[in-house]
Amino acid sequence: MTPTLYIALHFLGRRKRAFFLSLGGVVFGVAIFICTQAQTQGFAKNFIDSTLGSNGALVMKERMQTLEGAPDLSPLPVHPPHRRLFQGINNAAEIMRVSRRFSNVVACSPVLRGNLTVRAGFQSATVDLFGIDLPLHLQTTNLAKQIETGSLDDFRNNPSSVILGAKLANALLVSPGESVQLLSPDGEYRRFVVAATARSGVGVVDAARVYSHVKVAQSLLHKPYSTSMIIYKLRDPDRAPALATRFERLFGHEMESWQDREEGNLQLFLTIRLSAAITVSLIILLAGFGIFNVLTMTVLSKLKEIAILRSIGYRRGDISAIFLWQGAMIAVAGSLVGCIAGALLTSAVAHIPIRVRGLIFANHFLVAWDWRHYVWGTLLALVAVAIASYVPARRAGLLSPVSTLRGTSG
């Protein structure tokens, strides 16, 4: 142990109450920072996992044709320019065969999508129909895990059956085994048995999604093609935009990454996280002001001791180091205890029951365990304490031993 560290410990030992108050501020700030970041990221992660499990990380849509030399008659800029879109994907099997060669592609599933009206008793709703190839769709999405009531086997074995989103089933007051009617574009109602209900965790999906067999969807929608979109599951969803650009050039179809699809919701979650981080950082900043006051008072109360240390050979840097050591010990101890307290607080919050039935579905607080929360909380504490410790430490180092012993601090 160096002499400056020993003296720093001695000074802190004489002001235990002030030390523990400063330490408590750092602990509280770090713990709250970790807990709030875990919560905000937890809800965001749940939403992302749910939307990826229902709608895929990447979606192929209409075929594009770029019109070379076409005049731009619009007074407003068009992006992308001179592009014509054709409905349907006619060569879906070949596209999926080539797509699977890419290392980031785990699986892909063809979907025939359209809007219909569903009716059950006196209840009716506009729904988003997904005509699927069940084996491929199960490989690409989390539909098997999303089944809440009923059975996938009943859907698999009965072409005249459908799977309803859980919120939609509640709105229609139907359950597995009961029937619903789907209205085709020609105005004819066709009866289907509800094989199961599925809860994805994404409100808009659970409130409007209906799954049927692809041949049934093609008949209902009167489409000459069996695929209107291809959903992709990726090993690294964060690289979806780059793969979307590559697939657009390769296949000539419009591509949409999950980041583009959910841009508004992602911005909302990011704003909430930043707002929480800024708010809690102010708590750590206030703890820094407390440490500044403690060290300043320590300097004022130890003027004679500082003068004696200077007179026996301690340099200005040594005196400053004594008070910097005090700040460092508060920062390290506060960060360590704060991280432990943050983990315990996060664990406790995760068990608090809540009822969320909107953008996402949750019965308790959702938290994400991420080591980066602890790193950022510790860094914020270290920076705040370092800034708070610098001025008192520098002032102590600049004190003149002669004038201090004479009763002044000039």
Whole-prediction pTM: 0.75
CA angle at residue 59 from 77 to 273, to 5 degrees? 80
Q: Which two tokens stand for residue 16?
A: 């235990």
Residue 169 lies in a domain: no
Distances (CA, A) of 363 to 168, 205, 350: 19, 18, 10
Residue 306 lies in a domain: yes
Residue 397 forms beta bridges with which residues?
none
| Separation between Cα atoms, residue 343 and residue 330, nearest integer Å | 20
| Separation between Cα atoms, residue 27 and residue 287, nearest integer Å | 9
Residue 373 lies in a domain: yes
pLDDT at 354: 80
pLDDT at 69: 47
Residue 324 lies in a domain: yes
Rg (CA), the chain: 32
Q: What is the largest CA-CA distance in the chain?
A: 103
pLDDT at 76: 44
pLDDT at 343: 93
Q: What is the pLDDT of residues 350-392, one digit of tens each?
A: 888 887 777 777 788 888 888 998 998 888 888 888 887 777 7
Those residues with Cβ within 8 angstroms of residue 389's Cβ, 6 or more apart along the chain or in another chain: 291, 292, 295, 323, 324, 326, 327, 328
Burial of 119 (0-12, 13-18, 19+ CB in 10 A): middle
Which segments of the chain have a pLDDT < 50? 67, 69-78, 409-410
pLDDT at 380: 86
Q: What is the pLDDT of residues 273-293, one digit of tens each?
A: 888 888 877 777 777 777 777
Element (H, E) at 280: helix 263-301
pLDDT at 302: 59
| Separation between Cα atoms, residue 20 and residue 22, nearest integer Å | 5
First-to-last alpha carbon distance for the chain, in angstroms, is: 32
Residue 43 lies in a domain: yes
What domain count does the chain have?
A: 1
The HSE-up count of residue 76 (CA atoms within 13 Å, CB side) is 3
Residue 182 lies in a domain: no
Phi first, then psi, for residue 376 (nearest 5°) are -65, -40
Residue 189 lies in a domain: no
pLDDT at 137: 95
| Separation between Cα atoms, residue 231 and residue 210, nearest integer Å | 16
Measured in whole angstroms, how far is the alpha carbon of residue 105 from the centre of its chain? Answer: 22
Residue 384 lies in a domain: yes
Domain that holds residue 287: 3-52+265-405
Q: Which two tokens stand for residue 53?
A: 């499990």
pLDDT at 240: 94
